[in-house]
């Protein structure tokens, strides 16, 4: 079992990671001052509920907690104002008050949605995360919660820190193969932006991680959270440094949008995007070895490193230019300047980016 | 011109109060670091817009600001998730970003709605209040923002402090007579809970305030905000003291609910509620002079001090008991123990409260 404290003064909280931790949630709650006087409200989705919900409810009830649950459909479309309102209605009908605790049992979708509920129900109640995807290690740090607007992702949200994150690696065993690889792309990103040694470790432990070896997973999630925490703690207000977390995301978001959400998983899209950023670095004069290293580790994880040919270059460019980060025809990009270190480069010309997009559509 | 600083460390902000200040908004914005690089987004309602919107827009544009506006229908029903979503859609379509500033031009309804938009658009943008009702002096302090849920008021919200509050007493001249009296009820409340000298001043200046004399209004709003700030600063997290701000609100909220929102204005309902609290104090052994003093000042302001006869006592009691503050058949009440001082009394029996409700339905 590993424990990482996210230091935020009064709002500091632990991320507890280990194999088979789910039934320790009652104890962890009470250790963190959430006793049985506060009603628990579990929010989860229909893919997760059949595996873990009733067991968790039973464990909590046995320790005297009052537990209610709400199950949303699986997938990004549940991160909407409609489901947000449905959950609020249920919470009010249940008579939940300020002492209640919202628990997100699920991936990033459930985490963001439940977190926004917790941030705004009666102007804010306590929030606990029980992540069930690898990708959700990324949402365990930083306090961002949100729902999507039909016109754009994550437009409506808040910052709301959890009281506790309990990460049971055993819950990851029911993830699909694609979701596993996609989640690991974000782990690799944390190596690429911050820590060459960790990237090497990821390279060596690829087989173990893909097989969901508990000990390796636990370390990978721990270190991934720790890297993100280091970045965020130096830039709580998103002034600058935090942008490095977006390595691969400029191209990645555009690919997700153009492919239609769902065709490419988030981690798959940023995998391609990270290769694109490395190619950009090469064009800007940084060593070509960065491209080779980036591409080879992603391929080892079975992640895509080329843009699907049927995606239109114009559409990809348009999606990128719509992004508010690009004013007056110039683009900002996070580029790797060596392995384990990235920089934000401004004034990149769209022509150069376009040539890289075209290039990424070619043969490997 | 009066200026009151609300001290909140990094989030401190000024409330500027005076006659004819509206056209000074551009200067006040730039003094507070909101320059022309941030787009302005004014939210107001259809009763206020015809009087003040185009003038304000023109003054801002003249100083180089980019200004967009959104007008909601007048009244409490605009404080809904539906209008919240409509405003979010418009904000996204306008391309507003994190540097944008949301400006509430209106009463408490517009303030709470616009404030919740500001709190959650892209996880939070800057917020400025330009209150146009007397009652809104109460929402200028404390940082509470919210929308209503069909099942209950103010259930969905956040704490989001403004950067600036600019109060132009001249905008109050278009308020209806009832709205003026209702708003002044909340000013009187601030005297009753905290400051006998201010209550005496309110008594002496009743005519001036009801005639909207600029200098008297400016002082009343200033002192009202200052009293609320004193209470809130001693209890930012709503642990205890802040509850004294609810003098008259337990009965008042029940009356609003039973009468159907709209029949009784908020200030009218709490006026009756404050007389009820004073009657309760008398029953608990505090001097009867408190009732006389409370009732006489409210009558001087033309505010109701009796429950309309057609409101059903059972319904009023039921509305009060539904309030989550009352567990296990006992009630908590804020009661005046002398003029300018209140206490929270626990364990009040519903039978006693019922007798007071009945009493308040009798003749004066
Ligand atoms: N708040 C943040 O800082 C942050 C960071 C990164 C991503 N995100 C958000 O996270 C979301 C993506 O997260 P995600 O990839 O975890 O998506 P997800 O929550 O939709 O989970 C992916 C799929 O796996 C299923 N699933 C989840 N756990 C399972 C399990 N243990 N067994 C079987 N099936 C399971 C889900 O039902 C879903 O179909 C996006 O909305 C993104 O915006 C937020
Ligand atoms: N956030 C807080 O701390 C706080 C405190 C107290 C009250 N409130 C909220 O405030 C709301 C009540 O505020 P309110 O009484 O200001 O109501 P309001 O905003 O609805 O205004 C009352 C009426 O007067 C009209 N109006 C407003 N200004 C006008 C002007 N200058 N000229 C002509 N007409 C004008 C409005 O269109 C409306 O019809 C409630 O929703 C309450 O919950 C919030
Ligand atoms: Zn990501
Ligand atoms: Zn009030």
Q: Is A99 helix (H, G, I), strand (E, B) or coil?
A: coil
Question: A325 pLDDT exceeds 60?
Answer: no
User: Looking at chain B, which residue has its C-alpha nearest residue A322?
Assistant: B95
User: What sign has the CA pseudo-torsion A83, A85, A86, A90?
Assistant: positive
Task: Give the burial class of A59: count Cβ atoms within 10 A of its Cβ; 0-12 exposed, 13-18 middle, 19 or more buried.
Answer: middle
- Is A242 one of the catalytic residues? yes
Asked if residues A45 and A87 have their Cβ atoms less than 8 Å apart, the reply is no
**φ and ψ at residue A339, rounded to 5 degrees:** -70, 125
Band (B327; pLDDT cuts 50, 70, 90): low
Pick the catalytic residue: A24, A51, A205, A242?
A242
Q: Which two tokens stand for residue A284?
A: 């800007």
Question: B364 pLDDT exceeds 60?
Answer: no
| Residues ≥6 apart with Cβ < 8 Å to B153 | B253
Asked if residues B116 and B102 have their Cβ atoms less than 8 Å apart, the reply is no
B160 lines ligand 2 (CB under 6 A): no
Percent of chain A topping pLDDT 70: 96
Closest C-alpha to B19, from B123, B167, B133: B167
Closest C-alpha to A248, from A266, A227, A273, A223: A273
Q: pLDDT for A114-125, tens place per residue?
A: 999 999 999 999
pLDDT at residue B236 in the model: 65
pLDDT at residue A327 in the model: 58
Closest C-alpha to B357, from B277, B268, B262: B277
Q: Do B159 and A122 touch (CB under 8 A)?
A: no
pLDDT at residue A307 in the model: 97
What Å distances lie between residue A193 and A167, A188, A244, A345, B99, CA to CA? Answer: 23, 9, 7, 14, 27
Q: What is the predicted ipTM?
A: 0.94
3-state secondary structure chain B: CEEEEECECECCEEEEEECCCHHHHHHHHHHCCCCCCCCEEEEEECCCHHHHHHHHHHHHHHCCCCEEEEEECCCHHHCEHHHHHHHHHHHHHCCCCCCCEEEEEECHHHHHHHHHHHHHECCCCEEEEEECCCHHHHHHCCCEEEEEECCEEEEEEEECCCCEEEEEHHHHHHCCHHHHHHHHHHHHHHHHHHCHHHHHHHHHCHHHHHCCCHHHHHHHHHHHHHHHHHHHHCCCCCCCHHHHHHCCHHHHHHHHHHHCECCECHHHHHHHHHHHHHHHHHHCCCCCHHHHHHHHHHHHCCCCCCCCCCCCHHHHHHHHHHCCCCCCCCEEEEEEEECCEEEEEEEECHHHHHHHHHHHCCCC
User: Residue with the nearest Cα to atom 4 of ligand 2?
Assistant: B139
Q: Report the residue from B93, B122, B158 with minimal CB separation from A119.
A: B158
User: Residue with the nearest Cα to atom 9 of ligand 2?
Assistant: B108
Q: Which residues in chain A have Cβ-Cβ distances shorter than 8 Å to B122?
A: 155, 157
Asked if residues B184 and B209 have their Cβ atoms less than 8 Å apart, the reply is yes
Active site residues of B: 123, 144, 186, 228, 238, 242, 246, 249, 253, 266
pLDDT at residue A235 in the model: 73
Task: Give the burial class of B19: count Cβ atoms within 10 A of its Cβ; 0-12 exposed, 13-18 middle, 19 or more buried.
Answer: middle
Band (B235; pLDDT cuts 50, 70, 90): confident
pLDDT at residue B328 in the model: 61
Q: Which two tokens stand for residue A191?
A: 């190596």
| Residues ≥6 apart with Cβ < 8 Å to B101 | B29, B34, B38, B39, B40, B41, B125, B126, B127, B128, B163
Average pLDDT of chain B, as a whole number: 95
User: Looking at chain A, which residue has its C-alpha nearest residue B144?
Assistant: A123
Question: B237 pLDDT exceeds 90?
Answer: no
Structural fold of domain B2-174: Rossmann fold (3.40.50)
Report the distance separating Cα B110 and Cα B102, nearest Å.
11
Residue A23: DSSP 8-state: G
Closest C-alpha to A119, from A144, A99, A155, A152: A144
Question: A94 pLDDT exceeds 70?
Answer: yes
Question: B363 pLDDT exceeds 70?
Answer: no
Q: Which residues in chain A have Cβ-Cβ distances shorter than 8 Å to B96?
A: none
Q: Ligand nearest B178 Cα, by number?
A: 2
User: Residue with the nearest Cα to atom 36 of ligand 1?
Assistant: A74
Atom of ligand 1 nearest to the CA of A267: 15
Name which residue leads in pLDDT, A323 or A94. Answer: A94
User: Looking at chain A, which residue has its C-alpha nearest residue B85?
Assistant: A81
Report the distance separating Cα A202 and Cα A198, nearest Å.
6
Domain locations in chain A as residue ranges = 2-174, 189-362
Task: Please check if A144 is assigned to a binding site.
Answer: yes
Q: Which residues in chain B have Cβ-Cβ distances shorter than 8 Å to A158?
A: 119-120, 123-124, 158
Band (B282; pLDDT cuts 50, 70, 90): very high
Q: Report the residue from B93, B97, B120 with minimal CB separation from A156.
A: B120
CB atoms under 10 Å from CB of B74, counted, come to: 17
Q: Which residues in chain A have Cβ-Cβ distances shorter than 8 Å to B95?
A: 324
Q: Which residues in chain B have Cβ-Cβ distances shorter than 8 Å to A93?
A: 151
CB atoms under 10 Å from CB of B181, counted, come to: 22
CA of A133 to the centre of ligand 1 (A): 6
Report the distance separating Cα B84 and Cα B88, nearest Å.
6
Question: A363 pLDDT exceeds 70?
Answer: no
Residues in the ligand 1 pocket, defined by CB under 6 Å: A 45, 47-48, 51, 74-76, 79, 106-110, 112, 132-133, 135-136, 138-139, 142, 144, 154, 171-172, 174-175, 179, 266
Q: pLDDT for A303-313, tens place per residue?
A: 999 999 999 99
Q: Ligand nearest A265 Cα, by number?
A: 1
- Count of CB contacts below 8 A, A vs B? 60
pTM for the whole structure: 0.96
Q: Do A88 and B144 touch (CB under 8 A)?
A: no
Residue A126: DSSP 8-state: E
CA of B356 to the centre of ligand 4 (A): 21
Asked if residues B112 and B159 have their Cβ atoms less than 8 Å apart, the reply is no
CB atoms under 10 Å from CB of A24, counted, come to: 16
User: Residue with the nearest Cα to atom 5 of ligand 1?
Assistant: A139
User: Residue with the nearest Cα to atom 22 of ligand 2?
Assistant: B107
Q: Ranked by mean pLDDT, which of A170-184, A225-239, B254-268 comes out on top?
A: A170-184
Nearest-CA distance A121 → chain B (Å): 5
Task: Please check if A66 is assigned to a binding site.
Answer: no
What Å distances lie between residue B146 and A4, A155, B152, B232, B338, CA to CA? Answer: 35, 18, 11, 18, 33
- For chain A, the C-alpha Rg in angstroms (whole number) is 20
Q: Which CATH superfamily is domain A189-362 in?
A: Dehydroquinate synthase-like - alpha domain (1.20.1090.10)
Q: Do A149 and B119 touch (CB under 8 A)?
A: no
Q: Which two tokens stand for residue B232?
A: 């809130």
Q: pLDDT for B153-207, tens place per residue?
A: 899 999 999 999 999 999 999 999 999 999 999 999 999 999 999 999 999 999 9
Q: Which residues in chain B have Cβ-Cβ distances shorter than 8 Å to A146?
A: 123
User: Looking at chain A, which residue has its C-alpha nearest residue B152?
Assistant: A92
Strands across the sheet with A101-106, in order? A2-6, A13-18, A164-168, A126-131, A101-106, A40-45, A67-72
Task: Please check if B64 is assigned to a binding site.
Answer: no
Report the distance separating Cα A147 and Cα A118, nearest Å.
12
Task: Give the burial class of A40: count Cβ atoms within 10 A of its Cβ; 0-12 exposed, 13-18 middle, 19 or more buried.
Answer: buried
Q: Report the residue from B88, B92, B158 with minimal CB separation from A120.
A: B158
């Amino acid at each position: 079992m590993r424990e990482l404290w996210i230091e935020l003064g009064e709002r500091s909280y632990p991320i507890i990671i280990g194999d088979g931790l789910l039934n320790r949630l009652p104890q962890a709650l009470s250790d963190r001052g959430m006793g049985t006087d506060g009603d628990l409200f579990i929010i989860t989705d229909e893919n997760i509920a059949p595996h873990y919900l009733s067991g968790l409810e039973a464990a909590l009830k046995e320790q005297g907690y009052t537990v209610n649950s709400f199950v949303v459909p699986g997938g990004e479309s549940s991160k909407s104002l409609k489901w947000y309102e449905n959950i609020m209605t249920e919470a009010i009908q249940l008579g939940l008050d300020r002492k209640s605790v919202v628990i997100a049992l699920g991936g990033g979708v459930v985490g963001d949605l439940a977190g926004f509920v917790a941030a705004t129900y009666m102007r804010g109640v306590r929030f606990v995360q029980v992540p069930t995807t690898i990708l959700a290690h990324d949402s365990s740090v930083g306090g961002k919660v949100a729902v999507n607007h039909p016109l754009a992702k994550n437009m409506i949200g808040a910052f709301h820190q959890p009281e506790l994150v309990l990460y049971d690696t055993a819950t990851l065993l029911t993830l699909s193969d694609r979701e596993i690889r996609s989640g690991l792309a974000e782990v690799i990103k944390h190596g690429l932006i911050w820590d060459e040694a960790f990237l090497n470790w990821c390279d060596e432990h690829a087989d173990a991680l893909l097989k969901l070896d508990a000990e390796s997973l636990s370390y990978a999630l721990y270190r991934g959270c720790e890297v993100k925490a280091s970045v965020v703690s130096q830039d709580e207000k998103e002034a600058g440094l935090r942008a490095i977390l977006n390595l691969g995301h400029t191209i990645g978001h555009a690919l997700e949008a153009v492919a239609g959400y769902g065709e490419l998983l988030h981690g798959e899209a940023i995998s391609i995007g990270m290769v694109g950023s490395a190619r950009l670095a090469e064009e800007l004069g940084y060593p070509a070895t960065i491209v080779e290293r980036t591409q080879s580790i992603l391929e080892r994880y079975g992640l895509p490193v080329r843009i699907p040919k049927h995606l239109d270059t114009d559409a990809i460019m348009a999606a990128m230019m719509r992004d508010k980060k690009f004013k007056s025809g110039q683009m900002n990009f996070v580029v790797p300047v060596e392995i384990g270190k990235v920089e934000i480069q401004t004034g990149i010309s769209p022509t150069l980016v376009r040539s890289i997009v075209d290039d990424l559509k070619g043969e490997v």
